[in-house]
Amino acid sequence: MTDRHDEIEDWLGSEVHPLAPPPGTFERVQRRARRRKTNQLLVTAAGAVVVIAGAVLAPTVVPTLLTGSSHHTGGPLAGGTSSTPARPTSTSASASHSAHGSSSTPATSSSPVSGGTGLSMSTSGAPAPPNFQPTSITMVTASVGAVIGQAGTPGQCTGPVPADCTSLAGTSTDGNSWYGISAPVVGAPRGTTGTGQLRFLNLTYGWAYGPQLYSTSDGGKTWGGPEDTHGLRVTDLETAGSRAFALLGNCQGTGASYAADCSTFSLYSAAEGSTTLQPVPLDLPAGQRATVMGTAGVASSATLVLTGGPSGGTGYLLAPSGAILSGSLTGSPWKYAGQAPCTPGAASASGTPLGAQLAAGNTRLLINCASGASGTGNARTGTGGGTQQVKKLFESTSGGAHWTKVSQPPAGGQATSLATASQNQVVLATTTGIEYSPDGTTWRPATISGGAPAGGFRYVGMTSATQGVAVPANARLGEVFVTTDGGQTWTAKPIAG
Amino acid sequence: MAARLRTADQQAAEDLFNACYPRLAGWVRRLVDDDETAHEIASEAFTRLLARWTGLDSPQSYLYMIATNLVRDHWRKSGRERKAIRTMTAGAPADPAYHPAQDVDVRALIEQLPTRLRSAFLLHYYAGFGVREVATMLGRPEGTVKADLYHARARLKAALGDARD
């Protein structure tokens, strides 16, 4: 028998034989890199600001790896003609969503189809499926982005699992037109399974999450997953630079409220092109290590925002304890930066904090502290309205170390999401509408075409000084809202063709 | 001035390419089945590096991290095909043109290591990065990396023993 010790040592100690590059390799590499750099600059320059404004909850750091799983190829989500939108279709339990068909015949597909549709700079492919109910939006430029949600007829989607109706749609026209994108085959969020949130880093790399995690490295043409989350649920995920950062929670919530009862959270990150999430070390003061990311058995929330472009940036985390943690977007340790003026408190169904909303601008961090909700509205489920709530807006120009109160936003509605644009405008989504401020000090209701939808909004984000997007709390409306004047007025954009 | 900076960047990129490509491609070659795939992966790693040329503290670390991920993806993609080919050619004479059989055997075992152990193992033992550098690259404490390396070696030895006994 071979001496196994010697064999391993010999192998480890053996020389690597250099392989000289074939002629012209460097020139080819340079050309390809130049093209990609141009694309990424186009895509991320405006996108990083918006995609990042989404806040979520997230607790404790569990030093375990998430191992990526194989990617599956799927067909276009909506494969019909422009006049005959297709319904969402499942191909197999492990394949990407695929839909082919006509208006009269539900699509069927028994095996994965190559050449799925991905996110692109120009609208292409078949229209989005009917009855599209968006729950999350991600923008990679001011005009190019995607939504995720349930579509078709719940429980009757074609495929081995009829409940798997998760669908994606893309736009390259700021929401004026939509086309189907291949989606991971998985259902709506329900306890430990499903996905309802979406983030793309650029046209290539994207993640569908909450509570499970799926990823794509080809713009959504194929999706891999679910990744191993070690029993934890993904409650927040944001992208910037060349990485994704995710908050994983130890949660007990059931049904659609999968992230409403989480107690401890962990911060992870993954480089583009990698499906492996690595724990982000937290460098904390000795007295805070045990509780900053939550306390077992005590429901809480957290939120994550990132700023920056391809060459660097900073991430900020509002921890369950109210601590602000910050760090570079390289995966290196995040540190304690200061104490926020309030704690994030309880979470919505999808994990966004109800007690505080965090946003990052060019030069300042903003936090809206909300308390004393009353009335008939329910921010957890996004229904109702008319709730009164004391809100206070604070800003920090020291990276979270010191905070100053700048204004008191209107009391109407429960706050759900906060965003700021590059010219200091601030928008606050609530269960009754959207509040607008040109600088954070004075407020007025934003004008919403057709009136604010019942239940208000679950998310708002700004993609440039003038453009932004908002997702209604009621997904059944089948639309998102966009602004082109810095958040002063918002117009509904239906998803389905 | 901008033109001069671009020229300086280009020269630095070419210098790095000339200095690192042969070893990177050779490193990848030990992990994949043929020269062509090794060149594809090495070229793709350099493409991604040059596309993100600015703002990188350690280009070489980035290069090997990307290559490690690409090799992993290649293994996943080609695993089924490779298995089929091995089955078909099990009785055929070995290709005398390349690499000791030992190299392939150990590689197959490395493929089966858990991702956590495999990344640290490849970067330290194969790419030649120190424990501290690997810890920085993977975002793990040095002690954890040392433990991962220990467990990876132990698993390899045990697996190699099982395979040969």
ipTM: 0.71
pLDDT score for B3? 39
Quick one: B134 and B58 in the same domain? no
A73 pLDDT above the threshold of 50? no
pLDDT score for A224? 87
Quick one: B69 and B16 in the same domain? yes
A68 near B CB under 8 A: yes
pLDDT score for A94? 30
pLDDT score for B160? 64
A31 pLDDT above the threshold of 70? yes
A474 pLDDT above the threshold of 80? yes
A82 pLDDT above the threshold of 60? no
Instruction: State percent of chain A over pLDDT 70.
Output: 75
Tally of domains in chain B? 2
Q: Is B25 helix (H, G, I), strand (E, B) or coil?
A: helix
Q: Within 10 A of B93 (CB to CB), how many other CB atoms are there?
A: 6
Number of helices followed by number of strands (H, E) in chain B: 7, 0
Quick one: B46 and B86 in the same domain? yes
Quick one: B45 and B115 in the same domain? no
Q: Categorize the per-residue pLDDT at A332 as very low, low, confident or very high, splitting at 50, 70 and 90.
A: confident
Q: Is B157 helix (H, G, I), strand (E, B) or coil?
A: helix
Domain closes at, from B57, B82, B97: B97
Give the gap in angstroms from C-alpha B125 to the nearest C-alpha of chain A: 6
Mean pLDDT of A64-77: 30
Structure-model confidence comparison of residues A423 and A302, the more confident one: A302
pLDDT score for A477? 93
Mean pLDDT of B120-146: 79
Lowest average pLDDT, out of A108-117, A288-297, A342-351, B135-144, goes to: A108-117
Lowest average pLDDT, out of A314-323, A436-445, B121-130, goes to: B121-130
Residue A16 to residue B27, Cβ atoms within 8 A: yes
Mean pLDDT of A12-16: 66
Interface test with A, best of B115, B155, B160 (most A CBs within 10 A): B115
B21 near A CB under 8 A: yes
Quick one: B48 and B113 in the same domain? no
pLDDT score for B97? 36
Closest-CA residue of A relative to B135 is A332
pLDDT score for A3? 47
Domain closes at, from B77, B97, B117: B97
Structure-model confidence comparison of residues A92 and A233, the more confident one: A233
Rounded CA-CA distance A197/A377 in Å is 23
Quick one: B19 and B92 in the same domain? yes
Please give the full DSSP string across B43-112, using - where no structure is assigned.
HHHHHHHHHT-TT-S-HHHHHHHHHHHHHHHHHHHHHHHHHHHHHHTTTSPP-TTS--HHHHHHHHHHHT
Residue with tokens 């699509």: A107
Residue A18 to residue B106, Cβ atoms within 8 A: no
Structure-model confidence comparison of residues A117 and A41, the more confident one: A117
A117: left (phi over 0), alpha (psi -120 to 50) or beta: beta
B151 near A CB under 8 A: no
Q: What is the pLDDT of residues B3-49, one digit of tens each?
A: 343 456 677 788 888 888 998 898 888 877 788 888 989 999 898 88
**Peptide bond just before A184 cis, omega within 30 deg:** no
Sequence-distant (6+) residues with CB within 8 A of B50 are A29, A30, A33, A34, A37, B13
Nearest CB to A67 within list B10, B115, B161: B115
pLDDT score for A412? 94
Mean pLDDT of A349-374: 90
A243 CB neighbours in chain B (<8 A) are none
Structure-model confidence comparison of residues B76 and A57, the more confident one: B76
Q: What is the pLDDT of residues A133-174, one digit of tens each?
A: 999 999 988 888 999 999 887 677 765 667 678 999 999 889
Give the gap in angstroms from C-alpha A241 to the nearest C-alpha of chain B: 10
In CATH, what number is assigned to the domain containing residue B27?
1.10.1740
Lowest average pLDDT, out of A36-45, A102-111, A371-380, goes to: A102-111
B91 near A CB under 8 A: no
pLDDT score for B54? 58
pLDDT score for A382? 43
B108 pLDDT above the threshold of 60? yes
A37 CB neighbours in chain B (<8 A) are 50-53
Instruction: State percent of chain A over pLDDT 90.
Output: 48
A2 CB neighbours in chain B (<8 A) are 160, 164
Interface test with B, best of A6, A15, A17 (most B CBs within 10 A): A17
pLDDT score for A286? 81
Q: Which range of residues forms the domain containing residue B91? A: 1-97
A114 pLDDT above the threshold of 50? no
Closest-CA residue of A relative to B50 is A33
Closest-CA residue of A relative to B48 is A33
A97 pLDDT above the threshold of 80? no
A276 CB neighbours in chain B (<8 A) are 69, 115, 119
Dihedral over alpha carbons A21, A24, A30, A35 (to 10 degrees): -120
A367 pLDDT above the threshold of 80? yes
pLDDT score for A11? 63
Quick one: B114 and B140 in the same domain? yes
Domain closes at, from B97, B123, B139: B97
**Tokens found for residue A298:** 């005590």
Rounded CA-CA distance A224/B114 in Å is 18
User: What integer best gives the mean pLDDT of chain A?
Assistant: 78
The answer to whether A125 touches A133, Cβ cutoff 8 Å, is: no
The answer to whether A51 touches B61, Cβ cutoff 8 Å, is: no
Rounded CA-CA distance A58/A247 in Å is 5
pLDDT score for B139? 72
pLDDT score for B31? 79
Distances, alpha carbon A125 to alpha carbons A129, A220, A357, A431, in Å: 12, 13, 37, 35
Quick one: B113 and B45 in the same domain? no
Quick one: B2 and B49 in the same domain? yes
Residue A8 to residue B14, Cβ atoms within 8 A: no
Give the gap in angstroms from C-alpha B154 to the nearest C-alpha of chain A: 10
In CATH, what number is assigned to the domain containing residue B147?
1.10.10.10
Residue B29 to residue A68, Cβ atoms within 8 A: no
Quick one: B138 and B71 in the same domain? no
Mean pLDDT of A295-299: 89
Quick one: B93 and B106 in the same domain? no
How do beta strands A282-283 and A334-339 pair? Answer: parallel
B102 pLDDT above the threshold of 70? no
Residue A16 to residue B140, Cβ atoms within 8 A: no
A95 pLDDT above the threshold of 50? no
Interface list for A 403-422 with B (CB within 8 A): none
A345 pLDDT above the threshold of 70? yes
Quick one: B46 and B3 in the same domain? yes
Q: Nearest 5 degrees, angle CA A22-CA B69-CA B147?
A: 125
Give the gap in angstroms from C-alpha B101 to the nearest C-alpha of chain A: 11
Structure-model confidence comparison of residues B13 and A357, the more confident one: A357
